[in-house]
Structures are given as structure tokens and as C-alpha cells.
Chain A
Amino acid sequence: DAGVIQSPRHEVTEMGQEVTLRCKPISGHNSLFWYRQTMMRGLELLIYFNNNVPIDDSGMPEDRFSAKMPNASFSTLKIQPSEPRDSAVYFCASSLDSSGVFWEQYFGPGTRLTVT
């Protein structure tokens, strides 16, 4: 398996522009997580999906952020409009949730976002 795939790997954009980050989870995994890495908060969960349904979006910073998972093999995280404080590394992770077990999460390589 290719692992969790994220694109783009790097994104540089100007303040006010729309940014879309993409994630393809590991085939067969039914939970998908979007994280943001910052110096102050470490690894911060933004939202997670189970069976394509958003379960917990309490970490989404504000209305400028939105996430979708239209099918089991694809998810997007959108920021509109982007601001310099959104600059961070965004990780997508997936896991297999079966019989109520918290299996380990597999992380993608991350997208480094820079908003100027």
C-alpha cells in the first residue's frame, strides 16, 4: 500500500486566497483525521470522519475552515480566505476502527502551508 497520500506537499499563497488540501487514506481504513502542527499547540486535531461522516469538528478554528469526505478514498480541507496565521504543516491520518478498538493512526507526509 502507498500509505496516506497528501497533496500538495508545499503550498505558498497570498492572504485572502482559497487553499484546498487533499488526502487519500489507506484503502480499507474507515476513520480519517485532519491535524495541524504548530509550535505552540503541537499536534492539534481539526476534524475527524468515520465512515465518511464528520464525527468531531470541535477543533476547526473558525468558519474559514471546512472539510469534506465525499467518499471513502478522498477528503479535502479548505481554507477560505486564508490568513498568515494559518501557516503550518497540515497532516492527514487514517486508521481502521473495528469492533470499538482504537487502532493506530497512519499519517501522511503533510502539507506545508505558507500564507504571505
Chain B
Amino acid sequence: ILNVEQSPQSLHVQEGDSTNFTCSFPSSNFYALHWYRWETAKSPEALFVMTLNGDEKKKGRISATLNTKEGYSYLYIKGSQPEDSATYLCAFGRTGNNRKLIWGLGTSLAVNP
């Protein structure tokens, strides 16, 4: 059974706080790890696609790291703002011809002004 686990399930922080969440995935047959941001009443939007062990990606105040050998990725938000409030999803892609992603249930972030 392939499982992608995300923790914590939810998080409440104050504006200006930095925060991070974890995505755990199977370390075998790894091909890619995706991070998406999903605001309430909108559609998921891609943040990062990571494929190499040790990858680090950054977009503004948001960054992510990847460890494929131990099967985890961290997403960091520096200086959280209320507009960062959303659910952050990670999804795992395996080697092979099947392009479907295995999705986690997400971390719900609420940033209080």
C-alpha cells in the first residue's frame, strides 16, 4: 500500500511566524514529489516539482527540501502572512509508465493577523 502522510494535519500561527510541515512518502521507486497550495473555494495550484535527492526549491517566502533516501520533504514558509492561509498538499510520483500521483491529505494552515 502506497501512503503519503502529511503532518501536522492543521496549524494555526500568528502573522510573521515562520512555519514548516512534513510530507512522508515511500522511499522506493521514487520519481517526483509535488507540492500544491489549495486556497478555500479555489483549485489546487502547483508550488514545486522536485525530482532529485537534496533538491531545494524556493518561491518567494516559501521553500521546500527533498530527501528521497529517507522519504520525506519539508515545506517552509518564512514570515507567514494571512494570504498564506491555505491547505498545502504533497503528492508522490513513482517510476514507471503510470503518471498518477499519490496524494497526501494536506496540512491546513491558518495565519492570524
Interface size class of B (residues with CB under 8 A): 20 to 34
Q: Is the CB of B45 within 8 A of A102?
A: no
Fill in one digit per residue for A97-109: 1 if any B CB lies within 8 Å of its CB, else 0.
1000111111111
- Does A43 touch B at the CB level, under 8 Å? yes
Given contacts A31-B99, A56-B98, contact A102 B49 (CB under 8 A): yes
Q: Is the CB of A45 within 8 A of B100?
A: yes
Q: Is the CB of B99 within 8 A of A110?
A: no
A-B contact count (CB 8 A): 55
Given contacts A102-B31, A102-B32, A102-B49, contact A107 B100 (CB under 8 A): no
Fill in one digit per residue for A17-59: 1 if any B CB lies within 8 Å of its CB, else 0.
0000000000000010100000001111100101000011000
17 of the cross-chain contacts (CB-CB < 8 Å) are: A31-B99, A41-B105, A42-B89, A42-B105, A43-B44, A43-B103, A44-B103, A45-B101, A45-B103, A48-B99, A102-B49, A102-B51, A103-B49, A104-B34, A104-B49, A105-B101, A109-B43
Binding site for B on A (CB under 8 A): 31, 33, 41-45, 48, 50, 55-56, 91, 93, 95, 97, 101-110
